[in-house]
Structure 1
Amino acid sequence: MSLGYEDQDNLLEDAQDLKFGLQSYNERDDCRAGRSIINKSEIDTCIPRLQKEGNHLFKTGDNEGAILKYEKAIDILEELTLREKPRGEEWNRLDNMKIPFFLSLAQCELNLLNYNKAISWSTEVIERDCNNAKAFFRRAKAHVGAWNSVLAKLDFNKAFSLDNNISTTVNNQLTLMDKAQNGKMPKN
């Protein structure tokens, strides 16, 4: 039997079983990427759930899993901000909802020794909130890991100026950084 086309005839002669992959979603997975969120109640349940799941993964040491949850939340918030007037009230509200996720991503990347990514995520926070001591502190620690000592000192000092309660921690970090630069770090 011929179909009139050589390539199709070859496929017919050497027929193989087709394999299909199906992925099912349960009702709980209402936060999947690429899905349009229609109403506010979905935002109010989805974003906190992703944050809670990411925090749980972080606490159990699964930084990569936590990163996936935090990035998914940011993707959803980003999709929603695209629907709003830039710098409008709702746009600003949604954009500010990203800050805790950026901070969490910075910490995860620090734990994974991905210093440039940690710097990038911390900078995202600082661009939105220039008085966020935690963002400056995490970026400073990332700069230490990336051997950017001048930038690390600037960020540590800024973090200290924003939050006097971290003076001991900042001083300890600066001391460790100076020892590392002078080659006097204790061996583990």
Structure 2
Amino acid sequence: MKDALLLGSEGIKKTILHGGSGDIPKFVTGVKVTFHFRTQLCDDERTVIDDSKAVGTPMEIVIGNMFKLDIWETLLSSMRIGEVAEFWCDIHTGVYPLVSKSMRRIAEGKDPVDWHIHTCGMANMFAYHSLGYEDLDELMKEPKPLYFVLELLKVQQPSEYDRESWALSDEERLKAVPVLHGQGNKLYKQGRYQEATQKYKEAIICIKNVQTKEKAWEVPWMKLEKMANTLTLNYCQCLLRMEEYYEVIEHTTDIINQHPGIVKAYYLRGKAHVEVWNEAEARQDFSRVLDLNPGMKKAVKKELAILNMRMEEKNEEDKLKYKGIQKSARSHLAQSLGRKRHLAKLFYSKTEKLWL
């Protein structure tokens, strides 16, 4: 079927590859759309950039939810259930590399948002000059027309599915944050640390999704940053209980690098350093805690006492290990000397017989 210009959308051409069934569904705000997609370059080879069928999982978006690649909403809204169509897009592809990065992270079992890095997605991109994928970096430097081959699988009205955090509007996400925060705190008090981390993590992802739409370091962005830092530190408290000390050090260091005046970050990092016998680092962090908040002197004194005890235990263990190594070495040396003496006796015995 020949190309047809999609009415009302400049720079788009649609070719129906396989007709769908029924009427075009109502694509109102809140509708959940499930579809397969394949993205290709407009070159002679039709180079494939992404293919959801190759990954094995279809894509899901919610109409009106400010999905970064909003042109997909326009494309899907022209389709029937079961339809497969190819869209040539010229002027609507500039943000595709960012969207592709998120989708690839999901396919790799990672969070679509680098929530533990305390800068927005765009700031990270300009700071490191890379999205982490060479082909996407090239496409980011030189935006090009793209082909999108879409297969519409399912359309669900808002009342027909349970809405997860990713499917919420920004307003709904912000309303969900204090609820998730409270649930996480309750689970922490009950000693259900793994479950608490999931609540804190979900709340952080809600915040970070909203924060990416704000300008970095301006007042709205900073308010969201403060909320995210509070939740991240609660998350770290759970990790301490779960003995995930190096992850605590990683997350608290991220916060400290961006916001060097947060007392709790130094305190939790100090506690983690104590558990992995990083004596100098722990003392430095606790010293910083006292500089920022002298009122924590009693708490710091207690942690330093624990540090001293931990270091004494480690020194004793090291001594025992050293003694064990020395004992083993002496035993090995004695065995070696014994074998040498035995061989020498045999040698002299045989030599004497030859002399006789």
Question: TM-score per shorter chain, which class?
Answer: 0.7 to 0.9
Q: Quick check: 173-182 or 123-132, which moved more?
A: 123-132
- Asked if 1:35 corresponds to 2:199, the answer is no
Q: Which residue of 2 aligns with 1:117?
A: 247
Q: Which residue of 2 aligns with 1:148?
A: 278
- Counterpart of 1:99 (choices 229, 234, 247) is 229
Structure 2 contact 256–266 (Cα < 8 Å) conserved: yes
Q: Aligned-pair RMSD on alpha carbons?
A: 2.4
Q: Displacement, 1:170?
A: 1.1
Q: Displacement, 1:184?
A: 8.1
- Counterpart of 2:199 (choices 69, 84, 96) is 69
Q: Displacement, 1:44?
A: 4.2
**SS at structure 2 position matched to 1:113:** coil
In 2, the alpha carbon distance for the partners of 1:161 and 1:139 equals: 15
- State the one-letter code of the partner of 2:193: N
TM-score, structure 1 normalization: 0.75
Structure 1 contact 54–65 (Cα < 8 Å) conserved: yes
- State the one-letter code of the partner of 2:237: Q
Q: Which residue of 2 aligns with 1:19?
A: none
In 2, the alpha carbon distance for the partners of 1:99 and 1:174 equals: 25
Structure 1 contact 77–98 (Cα < 8 Å) conserved: yes
Q: Displacement, 1:101?
A: 0.4
Aligned length: 157
In 1, the alpha carbon distance for the partners of 2:232 and 2:246 equals: 14
Q: Which residue of 1 aligns with 2:263?
A: 133
Structure 1 contact 105–121 (Cα < 8 Å) conserved: no
Structure 1 contact 118–139 (Cα < 8 Å) conserved: yes
Q: Displacement, 1:68?
A: 0.3
Q: Displacement, 1:119?
A: 1.3
- Counterpart of 2:186 (choices 45, 56, 65) is 56
Q: Displacement, 1:124?
A: 3.4
Q: Displacement, 1:175?
A: 2.1
In 2, the alpha carbon distance for the partners of 1:78 and 1:51 equals: 15
Structure 1 contact 136–158 (Cα < 8 Å) conserved: yes
Computing the radius of gyration over CA atoms, which structure comes out larger, 1 or 2?
A: 2
- Asked if 1:89 corresponds to 2:240, the answer is no
In 2, the alpha carbon distance for the partners of 1:26 and 1:104 equals: 34
Q: Which residue of 2 aligns with 1:161?
A: 291
| % identical equivalent positions | 28
- State the one-letter code of the partner of 1:81: Q
- State the one-letter code of the partner of 2:292: L
In 1, the alpha carbon distance for the partners of 2:243 and 2:314 equals: 21
In 2, the alpha carbon distance for the partners of 1:70 and 1:139 equals: 18
